[in-house]
Amino acid sequence: MILNAAFYLFSGLAALATLLMIFQRDPVKAAMLMLAALLSTAGIYLVLSAQLLAALQIILYAGAIMTLFIVALTATPAAWRDKPGRGSFMKVLGLAAASVILMELLKVSTALKAITVSPEFSETGTLDLASALFGRFAFQFELLSLVILAAIVAAVALTAKRRTAQ
């Protein structure tokens, strides 16, 4: 009962921090909300008895990646922060694209759960290593790294666009 409550609490915090992050105009506040989402995800892993995954989540993502984000934010010029936002059409288009991507990822996730691995695949040791490190959460861990990679690419693209406009 307590584990279920903790799971729902951390899930709600992660979802709320993510939604607030998406609509945050200040990049530093958005980075702090992302940190809250990452730490909540680590809490979810702890509730699910994946202590190693929670530790890796905190060390790699909440520690190293967020440090990289904060350094990148301090290196960008502050002038572009005061520009007016895009129209509501662009926001709706972005939300629609995010929804389509989320649905596709969920479809792939359910398809991957049904796949059985042949014994010949474990010759390389990669599957055994991934199972030992991440257990059944390997796909979710890699999905999170894909989301963070997309955020880094978007930040670099925004910075490059702003510097060429000046």
Q: What is the pLDDT of residues 110-128, one digit of tens each?
A: 776 666 655 554 445 556 6
What is the Cα–Cα distance from 44 to 144, expressed in whole angstroms? Answer: 13
- The pTM of this model reads 0.52
Quote the percentage of the chain above a pLDDT of 70: 73
Confidence of residue 151 (pLDDT cuts 50, 70, 90): confident
Rounded to the nearest integer, the mean pLDDT of the chain is 76
Output the CA–CA distances (angstroms, integers) from residue 51 to 30, 47, 64, 78, 133, in the order listed.
27, 9, 18, 39, 10
